[in-house]
Amino acid sequence: MRDAFVKTPLLLALPFLMAIQWSLMALPANAKVGQHSADITTPFGPPERELMVEVEGGKVYVRINGLSHTDAIPVIFVHGGPGGTHNGFASMLGLANERMVIMYDQLDSGKSEQPNDAANWRVERFVESLDKIRHALNIKRWHIVGHSWGSALALEYTAKYPQHTVSTVLGGTFISTPHWIMDANLLVQAAPEETRKTLKQCESDAPPADPICQEAYTVLYSRYYQPVAPTKAALAYYKNVGGKGFNPLIYNQMWGPSEFSSTGVLKHYDATHLLSDIDGSRTLFMIGQYDSARIDTVQNYIKLTPGAELAVVPGGAHGFYRDRPLITQAILQDWLTRQDAAIEVNR
């Protein structure tokens, strides 16, 4: 699979990527803290604070907004990939009006260090990196929002550290490679023959022009889906964010060559058994109406997580943070507020 914003700006199908690949300057390895005068709660606004956090294998980039809300429960966003970046989440900064919003780039991608050492490409190391960030920021408990591959990390973290997790959002839900591949194949099989041929070309090393692939992926999900181009603010952010963007090396080694084929470290990954270990009343599954995370499969996950809720973003595909940012933020704001209230009641 490849980055949706690299080959085709409106590509909807890649199951893990919330990343933008831009060959820009990398952030220095030393920690950097800065204050910005621009509105920090505007979508794709600047961070209030930036730092590099030491984790196993190197240092990861972390950005924070909403620092003044010291009494509110923070939320951290966990991006997809592997090899993606935090960039797609920057549309959610309106949440910083009420709480601290934390975003980061996983090791080997974005503005984090990129040792590209295969010894680091273990699920448990990614999970422990999250807790290293929590320790570095001196946070006792937080909400964790994962998307796609980030959902797997959010689930693993919640199961291991329930005492530090107030609530969990499993967005564009990937928690099982066998289930994901089955769903991807079902989507392709249901597409017209000409679309299937085009999709195969789009996943090759010599893809056709972007508009051709865009049309094919739109047909794959629904003729009713209307992809939304990135806003000027989003494009400016992607262009100026810095770092090395999406890392195809870790993506190929951990996942595989295309959306429909997993040959890497995650080939047999399946964390569905962990769903029974977490508190369903504190779990939200969140998908787009035309998501590659098929609703039938996610409904089965919910059955394994008693008390969990499901939110479907109307008109959104897998990249619903980009497709429908306003309603996505509203859903998250409502969820986080209700979970905060539940904590207060139980104190």
Owner of token pair 């009420």: 98
- Catalytic site includes residue 323: no
DSSP code at position 282: G
DSSP 52-116: EEEETTEEEEEEEE-TT-TTSPPEEEE--TTT--SGGGGGGGGGGGTS-EEEE--TTSTTS----
The active-site residue out of 105, 183, 291, 323 is: 291
Q: Determine phi and psi for 257, rounding to 5 degrees.
A: -80, -20
How far, rounded to the nearest angstrom, does the alpha carbon of residue 56 sit from its chain's CA centroid? 21
Distance CA 93, CA 45 (A): 7
The active-site residue out of 105, 179, 318, 323 is: 318
The active-site residue out of 109, 129, 148, 258 is: 148
Whether the Cβ atoms of residue 5 and residue 20 lie closer than 8 Å to each other: yes
- 144 vs 155, 167, 169, 324, CA distance in Å? 9, 6, 6, 20
- Catalytic site includes residue 318: yes
- Catalytic site includes residue 148: yes
Distance CA 25, CA 312 (A): 37
Owner of token pair 């910005």: 36
Q: Among 333, 344, 327, 246, which Cα is nearest to 289's? A: 327
Answer whether the bond into residue 178 is a cis peptide, omega within 30°. no
DSSP code at position 270: B
Q: Among 7, 4, 332, 17, which Cα is nearest to 174's? A: 17
List, by residue number, the catalytic residues. 148, 291, 318
